[in-house]
């Protein structure tokens, strides 16, 4: 199966490391392509940046579908455009880190804590926790006071801070599972979970595997995203008659 | 005070009727400008359409701030970009129909029903009801099975359907207040509320008046949107150093 | 428009300072009268005291309506009699501090903390937070261990304590907005919000402005309090036939 | 033990029938006195009426304590003054119909429906359901469209309507238990529950027995109402120094 | 009335002390028999142990009914089998510590904390708190880091730890009531509540008294457990035709 | 990988059809063994029956672990013993129908309805919906009034009823996804979802695929069930010293 990982930022800086990391985690028959956007901010810590990349990200999702991909992952823990993407696809599976990680975490333990980079991120992520249904399963949010670009810079310091925050979450807030609340926290999970003795969910692996899982459900059992009500797709004739492809410079996206 | 009403669609079809309607409702010293977008879909019934207009809408919000406006209203009952807009502004007040209408409705009665055009709209709007805190105050959603462009076409039929739905909401679900869940349902509220005997909140007037209210709070008491955590603005230097204005063809938006 | 501020206590000690403070905050065309009760406890820290003043307070509300006032504010952060007052009025707008402040705070930020005088106050106020729908928006309650009469006595000490509590709420509990949970904490908000950098909602100004807002909604759009179900008024004939005015010594209240 | 049942209305019309009914339900060693108020409305369907009787009701509660009673019941399904009463007592047990009935019903079945006289009553009672914690246990409210004085007038018609409403609650909303949501629906429970085959909780018996239960807990195990925080009593010196007894014409109430 | 207290463990070690303790708390006309199981683990700290004793415990419940008992108590704060027991009985009252204690605690104060032996116990008990409806009434869980067999070993140390935990709950988390979250914490409540000045609910006394209460409700008013839907009993013919008594070595249990 | 499907009933009647059905759904490298219990009721419609099979079911789970299986599925939509099973395993993955189906359904649509056989089943299943976090995602429960043994008897009638119930759920309650709430409703999903146009989750396939998914997460990323707090296993020494294997006739289960 073919999966498109979208780094929804205007830099390809993370494309190769994420690709390499995904290769270590994917199923044997999964082919992965990692793309980033042709334009855009360098990270998505601010919701404005999410807004900037939203349409381009959705168009990458559409392109993936048109090209016959099986799945697309929107690679940011805010899950930007997840619900919109599910609306515009016909059969493509779409996943995102927070939703995937929370479903897994809520299955592995009674409660989880989410370790984020900055307190800034928490209100929106908390709204997502509520939206997905996991409020009673949330032990806490913990911030390590690091920006997206800090995580992979001084890895030892990052590991130290993640561990301190996770340890406190486990001991003081009784978290049974830890979620790393940023895709760029990728790779730290394994050492952390060995040290802590609780599962630590990586925000890159989680949506990859959840996508592979959902693709199989779709292909074998027809359990694709529901297309009634909330995820009903916009009619192509409407899109065509309004020249949206032309207006937004996205020829072929709505094929 | 100066207020920008944004019809976040790629047509100016509604600009004049909305402007005229707003003029009848505004405070004496409010100057209103209604704009729509230079490109975009003709309505926002689908979340993809919301995604398309999101960045342009936020940039209208920014322009309003740069030009010294006091407030901007995002004129769609999905409240697209409301949280993002509050992040990017420094002192501009931003409101949107659903949030404004629900705060008012929850003050006027114990419970409210929201009359929408299509069932399609309900899941996202229900997520907003939960997000804003009004789940226990929601009596029901009712759909009249009309699209955005139908509302003002056969006004008698629209009035008839709105009344039937609202009446059922009041009688069967014990709604104490009715909210018209689309800006293009504008103008029907008055006759409806006279017939029904309960307040019927218009989705155009509500965010206008809420904006005027919030502007006064800001100007006189300094109660502007909080800028810590969730609504902390992106740093301009970052935006500049990434050439976001150039990349997105929005010169001057970030001053 | 004419507004009656009711200090629902048996002392006029706060009438003048509150009046003066309200004058600085009101709209130009708002005329304000501040009254207190002819009898009653000196503060309402205990719910018994609220019970004692409840009927007299409601009768002040009725008098305001009979005399042609536009709005009445029940000046205590417990919001005593708010729901009852909305039942007995025909067109008078009634507001109260907690409800008004929470609607404003939930609009200005994702979450708020309420700074109270004593822990004693919290359980009832927490029930109000839930009732109004803002449980998911509550960051915390903080007590400064001061009684109603302490707030304005040693203002420096009060300011110091409010600041310490609010700072902790912002930093440790990630509150984006602060609400001062007592009308007699009036006047401290401005300095506090300058020091803290987050909006601090004053419990006297909030219901005043919310009342002015609601009066305009009522007068121009007919959005008065719903009179079906929960706020349906008692029938005057019943009141008359039971001689309630005589029984309670309230001639003319039900006019 | 001695129990005071307070009919918190200005008529003794129900005193004797309630007394007789209570006698059939009380424990052998319970002595019951039924009182009504010296003044007041004839029923409490409106919240204003509740407000009118609130202070007098609380003073009856205080008198019961001063006279050495063990318990008082506030005989109205809105539970008016329940929380306030628990604040002002030192050792007296206080109960009320809705709280008692819901605790019992939630123990006897997974869910319950409340049969009320008029839709008017529901919003406030629903707020109580939420406050007491039983929202997830509520199957529905049903109204039989009868006023307080109708219930005992045409008993056959009342029985017929109660049965129809309860049957629908059991069958359509899967209620496992029925609560009769008005004290003046007293006496109908037994026939109803025989016909329906589910427990039907009577709003007079429930608070009587709950009071007897709580008195025993208090006397034998010291489990009296908590007096910290929410139910901390007002200081008698304060009450005395403010002459509240004199002001409200309640000599001796505060001993 | 006759009540069976079931210590659902494979040791009679606690039978006598519990019996003696119950004797001090029971109503005069209550006859109590304490039994433990013929086999089973020595405590139930792990949910596996609960599973092991579940069927035997339910069969004790059945035996109690067959023998004409009025009530049975399942003596473990996890309330193992409570819902199942209510399904299989016809008229026997069944109670358990957590449910009983929470109903009482929520009546005596606005909020309560539960003092447990180990953090291990908390997730399941928290699920029970939610299930019973008391989430908004929970101040906190506190662990004293003692196993079931430690509680009565060094009573002074136990008392010291319980007091420290309870004090913190009252002061820091504003708990108004304390619940001792293990039957083997029995007997400590009285001294604790005298020292703390808040009611401390004992997990042995609570279900005993709640059972006596429910038996009276059943016998006098017919308020027995609902037998529709969730608690509908399995048909005896089915049990017989499947030879369940034989299969499980429980002759006569289904009589 | 090796997976044990446990039909937790005392009949092997369903073993072969379930095995055959599973074979059509499993991953190529999954080996499936279906077992049922040596004793037990023929279905689990009553919670007593669940209690009877609980220990035996858990011991099957243990045996699966001792024999080196990778996963076990507890094949009943009540998810009996799911939480207990996760406690007793060291590395075995354990899944169950309701949890698996709800996670999948909440990912495929905003809301789902659960089609059950009898109303009797709903209260416990609703408690599970709440426990797993999906209350806001539940559109409704629908009963088709069929027992477990009816489903596969007259398949046409079953299909007809399932379709009628599901259609009503989609149209009247706006369910976006349907869950078949009984394992013995297996096989009907495909035709149903073709007719209805929404995904219909089969209660046999869901836990199988969820188990395969979780096994991969465990084996490759170490994301096994958390073993702190709620799922911490009972100590083997304790089990041994208490002779639990002997007492319960389960030699070797605890190795």
Question: Tokens at residue A191, please?
Answer: 């050492």
- Per-residue pLDDT of C165-179, as tens digits, reads 999 999 999 999 999
Which member of C52, C84, C238 has the closest CB to residue D244? C52
Burial grade of E147 (CB within 10 A; 0-12, 13-18, 19 or more): middle
Q: Cα separation of E106 and F58, whole Å?
A: 35
Following DSSP, what letter does each residue of C91-135 receive, concatenated?
Answer: S-EEE-HHHHHHHHHHHHSS-EEEEES-GGGHHHHHHHHHHHT-G
Question: Comparing C-alpha atoms, which of E113, E110, E58 is closest to residue E82?
Answer: E58
Res C97: pLDDT: 98
In this structure, are A184 and A219 located in the same domain? Answer: no
Q: Is residue B167 within 8 Å of B149, Cβ to Cβ? A: no
- Per-residue pLDDT of B89-111, as tens digits, reads 999 999 999 999 999 999 999 99
The CA–CA distances, whole Å, from A20 to A5, A34, A35, A46, A186 equal: 12, 10, 13, 27, 11
> What CA dihedral angle connects F230, F231, F232 and F236, to 10 degrees?
130
Strands (E), F118-197: 138-143, 177-180
In this structure, are D175 and D115 located in the same domain? Answer: yes
Task: Report, as an integer, the average pLDDT of C197-224.
Answer: 98
In this structure, are F136 and F10 located in the same domain? Answer: no
In this structure, are C22 and C56 located in the same domain? Answer: yes
Does residue D254 sit within a domain? no
Does residue A252 sit within a domain? no
For chain F, say whether E135 makes contact (Cβ under 8 Å).
no
Question: Comparing C-alpha atoms, which of C86, C135, C127 is closest to residue C234?
Answer: C86
Asked if the model's pLDDT at residue E211 lies above 90, the reply is yes
Asked if the model's pLDDT at residue C255 lies above 90, the reply is no
Whole-structure pTM value: 0.98
For chain E, say whether D48 makes contact (Cβ under 8 Å).
no
Question: Comparing C-alpha atoms, which of E94, E103, E96 is closest to residue E215?
Answer: E94
* Contacts for C162 with CB less than 8 Å, ≥ 6 apart: C115, C144, C180, C185, C188, C192
For chain A, say whether E130 makes contact (Cβ under 8 Å).
yes
Q: Backbone phi, then psi, for E170, in 5-degree steps?
A: -70, -45
Res A255: pLDDT: 78
- Per-residue pLDDT of F144-202, as tens digits, reads 999 999 998 999 999 999 999 999 999 999 999 999 999 998 989 999 999 999 999 99
Question: Tokens at residue C12, please?
Answer: 């006029």
Task: Report, as an integer, the average pLDDT of C34-46.
Answer: 97
Q: Cα separation of B188 and B180, whole Å?
A: 9
pLDDT-derived band at E103 (thresholds 50, 70, 90) equals very high
Which member of C119, C122, C130 has the closest CB to residue E136? C130
Strands (E), A20-70: 31-36
Question: Which of B116, B122, B125, B230 is the best mutation test for A, with the most CBs of A within 10 A?
Answer: B230
CB count within 10 Å of CB C194 equals 10
Strands (E), C80-232: 93-95, 112-116, 138-143, 177-180, 200-201
- Chain A meets chain C (3+ C-beta pairs below 8 A): yes
Chains A–E, number of C-beta pairs less than 8 Å apart: 10
Chains A–F, number of C-beta pairs less than 8 Å apart: 125
Res E205: pLDDT: 98
Crossing angle for the helix pair E189-196 and E155-172, to the nearest 10 degrees: 40
Q: Is the Cβ pair B229, A47 closer than 8 Å?
A: no
**What range does the domain containing A174 cover?**
98-201
Distance between the two ends of chain B, CA-based, in angstroms? 22
Crossing angle for the helix pair E205-221 and D97-108, to the nearest 10 degrees: 100
- Per-residue pLDDT of A119-171, as tens digits, reads 999 999 999 999 999 999 999 999 999 999 999 899 999 999 999 999 999 99
Res E216: pLDDT: 98
List subunits contacting chain D, requiring 3 or more Cβ pairs under 8 Å. B, C, E, F
pLDDT-derived band at C27 (thresholds 50, 70, 90) equals very high
> What CA dihedral angle connects B134, B138, B143 and B144, to 10 degrees?
-110
In this structure, are D174 and D231 located in the same domain? Answer: no
Q: Cα separation of F51 and F28, whole Å?
A: 35
> What CA dihedral angle connects B93, B96, B101 and B102, to 10 degrees?
-90
| Nearest residue of chain B to residue D130 (CA atoms) | B136
List subunits contacting chain B, requiring 3 or more Cβ pairs under 8 Å. A, C, D, F
Does residue D253 sit within a domain? no
Which residues in chain E are closer than 8 Å to C127, comparing Cβ atoms?
110
The CA–CA distances, whole Å, from B178 to A79, B114, C225 equal: 33, 6, 12
Distance of CA C122 to the CA centre of its chain: 16
In this structure, are C63 and C92 located in the same domain? Answer: yes
pLDDT-derived band at E155 (thresholds 50, 70, 90) equals very high
Q: Is the Cβ pair E130, A110 closer than 8 Å?
A: no
Q: Is residue E179 within 8 Å of E198, Cβ to Cβ? A: no
What mean pLDDT, rounded, does chain E reach? 97
Q: Is residue E239 within 8 Å of E245, Cβ to Cβ? A: yes
Strands E112-116 and E138-143: parallel
Burial grade of A247 (CB within 10 A; 0-12, 13-18, 19 or more): middle
Question: What is the least distance, in Å, from the CA of C110 to any CA of chain A?
Answer: 6
CB count within 10 Å of CB B238 equals 16
In this structure, are B235 and B194 located in the same domain? Answer: no
Does residue C253 sit within a domain? no
CB count within 10 Å of CB C23 equals 11
Res A120: pLDDT: 98
Q: Is residue F240 within 8 Å of F246, Cβ to Cβ? A: no
- Rounded mean pLDDT for each run of 10 residues along chain B, 255 residues in total: 98 97 97 98 98 98 97 98 98 98 98 98 98 98 96 94 98 98 94 97 98 98 98 97 96 91
User: Which domain CATH number covers C158?
Assistant: 3.40.50.12500
Question: Tokens at residue B62, please?
Answer: 């920014």
Task: Report, as an integer, the average pLDDT of D5-10.
Answer: 98
| Nearest residue of chain C to residue D250 (CA atoms) | C52
Buried b (16+ CB within 10 A) or exposed e, B162-182: bbebbbebbeeebbbbbbbbb
Q: Is the Cβ pair B176, D119 closer than 8 Å?
A: no
In this structure, are C92 and C214 located in the same domain? Answer: yes
Q: Is residue E244 within 8 Å of E237, Cβ to Cβ? A: no
* Contacts for D254 with CB less than 8 Å, ≥ 6 apart: D62, D236, D239, D240, D244, D245
| Nearest residue of chain A to residue B88 (CA atoms) | A48
- Per-residue pLDDT of A79-91, as tens digits, reads 999 999 999 999 9
- Per-residue pLDDT of C131-163, as tens digits, reads 999 999 999 999 999 999 999 899 999 999 999
Task: Report, as an integer, the average pLDDT of A202-207.
Answer: 98
Q: Which residue has the tokens 């936020």?
A: B58
Res A222: pLDDT: 98
Which member of D10, D45, D234 has the closest CB to residue C49? D234
In this structure, are B89 and B211 located in the same domain? Answer: yes
The interface residues of chain D toward chain C in range 144-163, judged by CB-CB distance below 8 A, are: none
Res B143: pLDDT: 98
Question: Tokens at residue C95, please?
Answer: 């507001």
Question: Which of F114, F120, F123 is the best mutation test for D, with the most CBs of D within 10 A?
Answer: F123
Buried b (16+ CB within 10 A) or exposed e, E168-189: ebbeeebbbbbbbbbbbbbbbb
* Contacts for B62 with CB less than 8 Å, ≥ 6 apart: B88, B89, B250, B253, B254
Which residues in chain A are closer than 8 Å to F108, comparing Cβ atoms?
223-226
In this structure, are A178 and A147 located in the same domain? Answer: yes
Task: Report, as an integer, the average pLDDT of C228-245.
Answer: 97
- Chain E meets chain F (3+ C-beta pairs below 8 A): yes
Strands C112-116 and B200-201: unpaired
Question: Comparing C-alpha atoms, which of D192, D178, D83, D86 is closest to residue D139?
Answer: D178
For chain C, say whether A132 makes contact (Cβ under 8 Å).
no
Question: Tokens at residue E220, please?
Answer: 């006098």
- Per-residue pLDDT of B213-224, as tens digits, reads 999 999 999 999
Q: Cα separation of A2 and A64, whole Å?
A: 9
Does residue B172 sit within a domain? yes
* Helical ranges in B26-96 per DSSP H: 47-66, 82-88
What mean pLDDT, rounded, does chain A reach? 97
Q: Cα separation of D96 and D81, whole Å?
A: 9
CB count within 10 Å of CB F24 equals 10
Q: Is the Cβ pair B110, D130 closer than 8 Å?
A: no
Q: Is residue D228 within 8 Å of E197, Cβ to Cβ? A: yes
In this structure, are C112 and C171 located in the same domain? Answer: yes
Burial grade of B18 (CB within 10 A; 0-12, 13-18, 19 or more): buried
* 3 state SS of E71: strand
As beta bridge partners, residue B5 has: B34, B73
Instruction: With residue D62 as reference, give the H or E element that holds it.
Output: helix D47-66
Q: Is the Cβ pair B110, D123 closer than 8 Å?
A: yes
Q: Cα separation of E57 and A20, whole Å?
A: 56
pLDDT-derived band at A33 (thresholds 50, 70, 90) equals very high
Asked if the model's pLDDT at residue D187 lies above 90, the reply is no
Question: Comparing C-alpha atoms, which of B201, F104, B97, B155 is closest to residue C226?
Answer: B201
**Sign of torsion over alpha carbons E43, E47, E52, E54:** positive
Does residue F178 sit within a domain? yes
**Sign of torsion over alpha carbons D57, D61, D66, D68:** positive
**Sign of torsion over alpha carbons D80, D86, D88, D89:** positive
Asked if the model's pLDDT at residue D42 lies above 90, the reply is yes
Does residue E253 sit within a domain? no
* Contacts for B185 with CB less than 8 Å, ≥ 6 apart: B115, B117, B151, B158, B162, B202, B203
Q: What domain count does chain C have?
A: 2
Does residue C26 sit within a domain? yes
Asked if the model's pLDDT at residue F255 lies above 90, the reply is no
* 3 state SS of F171: helix
For chain A, say whether B247 makes contact (Cβ under 8 Å).
yes
Q: Backbone phi, then psi, for E37, in 5-degree steps?
A: -90, 155
CB count within 10 Å of CB A152 equals 16
Res E255: pLDDT: 78
In this structure, are D168 and D118 located in the same domain? Answer: yes
């Amino acid at each position: 199966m073919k999966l498109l990982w979208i780094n929804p930022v205007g830099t390809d800086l993370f494309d190769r490391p994420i690709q390499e990391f995904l290769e270590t985690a994917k199923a044997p028959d999964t082919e992965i392509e990692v793309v980033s956007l042709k334009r855009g901010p360098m990270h998505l810590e601010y919701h404005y940046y999410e807004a900037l990349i939203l349409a381009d990200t959705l168009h990458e999702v559409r392109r993936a579908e048109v090209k016959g991909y099986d799945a697309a992952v929107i690679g940011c823990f805010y899950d930007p455009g997840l619900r919109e993407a599910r609306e515009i696809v016909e059969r493509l599976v779409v996943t995102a880190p927070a939703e995937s990680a929370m479903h897994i975490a809520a299955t592995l333990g009674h409660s989880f804590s989410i370790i984020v980079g900055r307190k800034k991120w928490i209100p929106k992520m908390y709204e997502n926790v509520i939206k997905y249904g996991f409020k009673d399963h949330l032990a806490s949010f913990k911030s390590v006071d690091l920006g997206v670009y800090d995580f992979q810079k001084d890895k030892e310091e990052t590991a130290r801070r993640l561990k301190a925050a996770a340890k406190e979450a486990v001991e003081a807030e009784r978290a049974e599972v830890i979620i790393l609340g940023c895709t760029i926290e990728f790779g730290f999970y394994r050492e952390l979970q060995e040290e802590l003795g609780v599962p630590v969910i990586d925000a890159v692996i989680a949506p990859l595997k959840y996508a592979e899982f959902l693709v199989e459900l779709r292909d074998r059992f027809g359990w694709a995203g529901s297309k009634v009500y909330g995820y009903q797709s916009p009619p192509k004739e409407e899109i065509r008659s309004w020249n949206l492809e032309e207006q937004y410079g996205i020829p072929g996206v709505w094929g």
